[in-house]
Amino acid sequence: MRLSRSFGKTLREAPAEAELISHQLLLRGDFIRPAGAGIYTFMPFGYRVIRKIWDIMAEEMDAISGQEMWMPNLHPAALWQATGRWNQVDVLYKLKASGNREYALSATHEEIVVDLSLRDIESYRDLPRMIYHISKKFRDEPRPRGGLIRLREFIMKDAYTLDRSEEALDEYYPSMLQAYTNIFDRCGVPTVMINADVGAMGGKSSQEFTVPHPQGEDEFIYCEDCGYAANVEAAGFVREGEKPATMDELSKVLTPDCKTIADVAAFIGVPTTQTLKCVFYWWRPNYVEKPGEGRMVFAMTRGDLNINDTKLVNAVGGGFIRQATEEEVRSIGAVPGYASAIGMTPAKDMESPGVMIVADESINYGGNYVVGANDDPYHYTGANYGRDFQVSRIADIAQAATGHKCPNCGGRIEAKRAIEVGHCFKLGTRYSKAVNATYLDEDGQERLIYMGSYGIGLDRLMAVVVELHHDKDGIIWPDSVAPYQVHLVHIGKDGDGTKEKAEAVYAELTAVGVEVLYDDRDGLGAGVKFKDADLMGIPWRVTVSGRSLEQGGAEVKRRSESERQIVSLDQLVATFRS
RNA sequence: CGGGGCGUAGCUCAGCUUGGCAGAGCGCUCGGUUUGGGACCGAGAGGCCGCCGGUUCAAGUCCGGCCGCCCCGACCA
C-alpha cells in the first residue's frame, strides 16, 4: 500500500480524552476513530490488525475441530424470551420495528446457537460439535471507557460447544483452554487464567483470561506461594480470628456521631474485627424492576470485611440487587448507621416472611461484637451470634483482599487489577433446558444437550497488545498482528534517482507476497516519515535514500531495536521472503 | 444512576474572573528554500464559540434548561 493513497492521517498530538496509552497511540496512528462513546470506526490499518487477530483465532479454533460460521446480529425477541433472558440481561439493546415486532441486538449468541441445535442436533451421533464466529456484539454499557477496553459495539470471537454430557465437555474443555492460551501467546499477550463468577451467563463454572494491568477494571486475587488465582467475585479466603472464651453481657451504650465502623470501633476502643457491618439491599428476580416485586436482603460481615455483591447474589440464589433506600431500610425496623439483626426474625428462605439475613462466615470467627442498636445513637457491646441474634443463612459473601489467607495454601494473597481478554463458560444445560434442546442417546433416551461458550474481544485484545508493546515513540506491533511486515521509507529529492530504486524495492517485495506499506509521499522530510513509521509500529523499516544507496543498498531496521544495517538491494527479497 | 471535569478551527489549547472586532501553535492550500528524526520564509483558506431559551444597547463570556464527551464510583456476559 502506498501511503500517498492511504485514507486517513496520523496525529501529532492525541485528543485530550484519551487516557490509556493504547487509546492515545491507536488514535494518533489513525488505527481507530471514535463515532460516539464506546463506538469506533476501524480505519484501514486498524482493520488489518483485526484481520490478523481474526486469522490467528480461526486457525486455533479450526485446529480443535471448530467450524467458523456467521450468525445474525438482529435477534428476534422470541429467541431471548425463550431462554428467559429478554428481561434478565441488563445491557441488552432492544428495538421495536414496524408492527409489533421486537428485536434485540446481538449482545451474545447463545440464543442463536441453542435455537440452531433444535433442528441440527438430533442424535448422539451429532455430538460433540464446536462452532464459532467472529462478529459484532452490542451492549448498552453504562460507562464505556479506555478507548477499546470497554465498548458498546465491539468485535467478538465466540465459540460454542455442544456435548452429550458434563463428562464429555470436561474432556474437551482443556483443549479449548489451551487454544486460548495459544491465541494470546501468538498475539504477544501473556495471560493469567483465573476462576471467575458465571454472572448473568449462567452455568457451572468459568475461567477468565486476564492481563494484569494497573488500569484494568477486573480485580482478581493472586497467591504468590501457590499460584491460586481467582476473580474477587469468586475468590475464597480463610477467615481468621477466634470466638472469645466467654460471652460478655449485652449492653447498650451511647455512641454519638458514630455512623461508620471506623468511628464506632475507635469510640468504643475495639478493633474493627470486633464489630459487625450491616448493609442493606433490595433484591428482585429480574433486571427490570417492577413495583412491589422483590424483597429486602440484610447482609452482614465482620466489620473488617466488605460485602461482595456478586457473592451475595449467588448466596440468595441469583437475581439482581441494588442498594436499599433509607425508607426501605427503616421498613424492616433497622436504623441506618445503627443497624443490626438484634430483635429481628430471620426469614427461612426467599419465599418466607421475616427478614432475609445473610451473614458472612466471618461472624463465626469472633464474638462480643459491637453492633448497632437500631436506635440512634446507640450501639450494643457484647453481642454474640446465636445468643443475641439469628440469621437466615451463613455464606461466603465477603470480598477477599490483600493480606488475607490463601484458601489453597494458607499463604498471603494479593488483590490485583487486570483486563479481561477472554472468558470460557461451562454453561451446562442452562440454555438447552430453556428451549428443550435434546438428543437421543444410544438407549433411545432423550437427553439435554450440554453447552459451553467461549469468548474473546478482538478490539480489546488489540488494545492490550498496544498496552504491552509500545515505547515513547509509538506502537511496536508483534509480527503476528502487525498491519504490514515492512514499512518502506523513501527519502530523496526529485531527480536524484532514489525514487526509482524505492519503487523497484516496493514492486519486488510486493511481488513475493511481503506486506509492504510504502511511504512514497513527496516533499516530506526524513523526520516526518521516521516519526510516522515509529508511531505506526510496523516491525521492519526499510529506508531507501541517497545515503543508504551510497552505503550499498537499503537501510534495514527492526522497530523494536536501535541497530540499523545496510542490505544490498538484490538481497532484500531474500531477507523478507519467509 | 451518584461525584468530578470538559465542550471555542481537523488536533492541542488561550480568551470567560471583570460582557465590547473570534485568537495562537500544529495540521491544511499556494509560492519559494530545504531533504536522515515532526525544517524554514512568505501568502492564504478554515468558526452555528455543543444546542435551546433568558438577561443586556451588546453574550464565546452572565443566568436557566438540555445534549454530548472524559475520569472515579455503582454496574459489567
A356-365 exposure pattern, b = at least 16 Cβ within 10 A, e = fewer: bbbbbbbbbe
Interface confidence (ipTM) of the complex: 0.94
pLDDT value, residue A263: 84
Residue type, A470: H
pLDDT value, residue A90: 83
Beta-carbon contacts of A297 under 8 Å, excluding residues fewer than 6 positions away, are: A280, A281, A282, A283, A312, A316, A321, A356, A358
**For A36 and B68, how far is CA from C1' in angstroms?**
9
pLDDT value, residue A288: 66
Rounded Cα distance between A159 and A83, Å, is 19
* Strand B proximal to A545 Cβ, under 7 A: yes
Q: Which three cell numbers stand for residue A48?
A: 488489518
Residue type, A265: A
Mean pLDDT of A58-69: 98
Q: In what order do the strands lie in the sheet with A295-302?
A: A320-323, A276-284, A295-302, A356-360, A393-395
A76 prior amide bond cis, ω within 30: no
> Is residue A127 pLDDT above 70, yes or no?
yes
pLDDT one-digit tens code per residue, A528-559: 999 999 999 999 999 999 999 999 999 999 99
* Strand B proximal to A37 Cβ, under 7 A: yes
Residue type, A553: G
pLDDT value, residue A87: 84
Rounded Cα distance between A445 and A439, Å, is 8
pLDDT value, residue A205: 76
Nucleotide nearest residue A535, measured CA to C1': B38
Mean pLDDT of A290-301: 86
Contact of A229 with A445, CB cutoff 8 Å: no
* Strand B proximal to A198 Cβ, under 7 A: yes
> Is residue A465 pLDDT above 70, yes or no?
yes
* Strand B proximal to A91 Cβ, under 7 A: yes
Q: Which of A54-63, A81-90, A437-446, A537-546 has the lowest mean pLDDT?
A: A81-90
> Is residue A492 pLDDT above 60, yes or no?
yes
Q: Which of A28-42, A68-82, A206-220, A439-453 has the lowest mean pLDDT?
A: A206-220
pLDDT one-digit tens code per residue, A347-392: 999 989 999 999 999 999 999 999 999 988 899 999 999 999 999 9
What is the number of other CB atoms lying within 10 angstroms of the CB of residue A417? 14
Rounded Cα distance between A20 and A51, Å, is 23
A514 vs A220: which has the higher pLDDT:
A514
Rounded Cα distance between A430 and A203, Å, is 6
What percentage of residues in chain A have a pLDDT greater than 90?
74
pLDDT band at A201 (very low <50, low <70, confident <90, very high): low
pLDDT band at A446 (very low <50, low <70, confident <90, very high): very high
pLDDT one-digit tens code per residue, A382-438: 999 999 999 999 999 999 988 999 999 999 999 888 999 999 999 999 999 999 999
Rounded Cα distance between A189 and A563, Å, is 25
Q: Is A257 helix (H, G, I), strand (E, B) or coil?
A: coil
Q: By 3-state DSSP, what share of chain A in percent is helix, strand and coil, each rounded to 5?
A: 25, 30, 40
Rounded Cα distance between A456 and A338, Å, is 46
Pairing of strands A356-360, A218-223: unpaired
Rounded Cα distance between A246 and A291, Å, is 47
Rounded Cα distance between A578 and A574, Å, is 8
Rounded Cα distance between A104 and A93, Å, is 6
Rounded Cα distance between A453 and A139, Å, is 18
Rounded Cα distance between A486 and A572, Å, is 11
**For A262 and B52, how far is CA from C1' in angstroms?**
49
**For A413 and B23, how far is CA from C1' in angstroms?**
56
* Strand B proximal to A427 Cβ, under 7 A: no
Query: Which residues, in sequence order, are bridge partners of residue A405?
Result: A238, A412
pLDDT value, residue A203: 65
A288-311 exposure pattern, b = at least 16 Cβ within 10 A, e = fewer: eeeeeebbbbbbbbbbbbbbbbbb
Mean pLDDT of A29-47: 94
Q: Is A547 helix (H, G, I), strand (E, B) or coil?
A: helix
pLDDT value, residue A202: 61
pLDDT band at A518 (very low <50, low <70, confident <90, very high): very high
pLDDT one-digit tens code per residue, A308-335: 888 898 899 888 888 888 888 888 888 8
> Is residue A204 pLDDT above 80, yes or no?
no
pLDDT value, residue A271: 92
pLDDT band at A468 (very low <50, low <70, confident <90, very high): very high
Residue type, A148: L
Average pLDDT, rounded, for chain A: 92
> Is residue A230 pLDDT above 60, yes or no?
yes
Full set of structural domains in chain A with CATH? 3-235+415-466 (3.30.930.10), 251-395 (3.90.960.10), 484-576 (3.40.50.800)
Provide the residue count of chain A: 578
Contact of A388 with A276, CB cutoff 8 Å: no
